[in-house]
Amino acid sequence: MKKLYFIVNLIAGKGTIGSMMGEIINEFVKSDYEVTVHITQSGADARKKARYACQNDYDLIVCAGGDGTLSQCLHGIMDSENKLPIGYIPAGSTNDFARTLGIPKAPMDAVKWITNGAPLQIDIGCFNDKYFTYIAAFGAFTNVTYETSQQIKNVLGHASYILNGLTQITNLRSKLMRIEYNDTVLEDDFIFGMVTNSGSVAGLLSMNDFLLDDGVFEVTLIKKPANLVQFQKIVHSLLNISEEIDREYIRFFRTNKITFTALNDEQISWTLDGEFGGDLPVNVVENRSKAIEIMTGDRDQSIFSDPNTIS
């Protein structure tokens, strides 16, 4: 019998996952898994328990929670020499990475996605000495994801990020930075920057033309606009993917390594997968190609570099 370590965040999203625990576990048992359940007790608990599972002869980790819980689990796997495959039951407010992978929203459908699926390799981001799954970002609105209360997220859903973000427009400040990637060096005032490996950011901004296992990230940088009207045009350009990107203020490129350096004494805060990521003056982001295996029931050819091969 195979051994499954089940990490559950009971307060993720609207907290409904708890009422389905018996049914979920029963489905895993019917698929010939011996299930050990751990309920997370703190933000870093999932990371510690994922590492424990990797070191103690388990065959599979399954995470039920939001993107932050998944990120913590993946961090724990990356800390380990024996990197177990992971299955994801999305139970958060936005579930960006689940949306990118095509994982079903309904918990029991996600369980069957895991039990009937196969492990597939994906890229993982390294941010200094930390890891992230789908986004590292700085600047405008990035603190919204970890400062917006869970209660507001539950009631307003994706709109909570915009509504809370709009309250910060009057405080919008640029960051003077040097950005180095490949053979390019940029120095300018930026109000926002993100390094992504996802088809959706905060459930709102859609990213096209990307792969989850190509060894590179998509980078979006927004320069300081001349005025508030120009800023609104920039946001409209990003949120309406059918429109031409405003290239005067928006820079988009791909790279496997990028360095961000603050050129003044002001601290620049980062968010990693919706959680606070630190505020060091120099930050190095690298792509760890195909570092993690995640259970995927139906491999979408648009998000993997070789849809005909299961790694």
Task: Judge whether 96 and 203 are in contact, CB under 8 Å.
Answer: yes
Dihedrals phi, psi of 191, to nearest 5 degrees: -100, -15
Q: 300 in a domain, yes or no?
A: no
CATH no. for residue 240? 2.60.200.40
Q: 295 in a domain, yes or no?
A: no
Give, for all 311 residues of the chain, the pLDDT tens digit. 899 999 999 987 666 888 999 999 999 999 999 999 999 998 789 999 999 999 999 999 999 998 888 989 999 999 999 999 999 999 876 667 787 788 888 999 999 999 999 998 999 999 998 999 888 888 865 554 444 444 444 443 444 444 455 445 555 678 899 999 999 999 999 988 889 886 544 444 445 555 778 899 888 888 888 777 777 777 666 665 555 566 778 888 889 999 999 998 778 889 888 778 888 999 999 999 999 999 987 555 455 565 443 33
Tell me: do 6 and 96 sit in the same domain.
Answer: yes
Residue 249 to residue 270: CA distance in whole angstroms: 21
Query: What per-residue confidence (pLDDT) applies to 209?
Result: 55
Residue 55 to residue 87: CA distance in whole angstroms: 17
User: Which residue type sits at 130?
Assistant: K
Residue 249 to residue 247: CA distance in whole angstroms: 5
**What tens digit of pLDDT does each residue of 186-208 get?**
999 998 888 988 654 444 444 55
Tell me: do 100 and 135 sit in the same domain.
Answer: no
Tell me: do 106 and 208 sit in the same domain.
Answer: no
Tell me: do 135 and 83 sit in the same domain.
Answer: no
Tell me: do 139 and 264 sit in the same domain.
Answer: yes
* Tokens, residue 137: 């970002």
Query: What per-residue confidence (pLDDT) applies to 148?
Result: 45
Task: Judge whether 4 and 57 are in contact, CB under 8 Å.
Answer: no
Q: Domain tally for the chain?
A: 2
Task: Judge whether 61 and 77 are in contact, CB under 8 Å.
Answer: yes
What domain range is 45 assigned to?
Answer: 2-116
Task: Judge whether 282 and 262 are in contact, CB under 8 Å.
Answer: yes
In order of 81, 198, 223, 257, 290, the CA distances from 100 in angstroms are 27, 6, 27, 22, 16
- CA-nearest of 81, 95, 35, 42 to 62 is 35
Tell me: do 79 and 145 sit in the same domain.
Answer: no
Residue 73 to residue 88: CA distance in whole angstroms: 10
Tell me: do 251 and 277 sit in the same domain.
Answer: yes
Tell me: do 184 and 53 sit in the same domain.
Answer: no
The pTM for the full model equals 0.79
Q: 125 in a domain, yes or no?
A: no
